[in-house]
Amino acid sequence: MVFGLGGVIFSYNPEVRWQKFAEHTGETASAIRKRLADSGYAQTCDMGRLKGKKAYAEGIRLLGKRLSLERFAQIWVSAFKPDEAVQELVGGLKNRCALALLSNNSDLVRTGLESAYPHVMELFRPRLFSADLGLMKPDPRSFAAALELLGSEASTTLLIDAAISNTSTAESLGLPSHTFQDAEALGIALTDYGLR
Q: How confident is the model at residue 128 (pLDDT cuts 50, 70, 90)?
A: very high
Instruction: Name the domain boundary from 79, 94, 128.
Output: 79
User: In terms of residue numbers, what domain contains 159?
Assistant: 2-11+81-192
pTM of the model: 0.94
Q: What tens digit of pLDDT does each residue of 63-98 get?
A: 999 999 999 999 999 999 999 999 999 999 988 899
Same domain, 91 and 178: yes
139: β partners: none
Q: How confident is the model at residue 138 (pLDDT cuts 50, 70, 90)?
A: very high
DSSP label at 6? Answer: B
Instruction: Name the domain boundary from 30, 47, 79.
Output: 79
pLDDT on residue 153: 95
Q: What tens digit of pLDDT does each residue of 98-112 get?
A: 999 999 999 999 999
- Distance between CA 162 and CA 155 in Å, rounded? 20
Residues 14-33, mean pLDDT to the nearest whole number = 96
Same domain, 112 and 177: yes
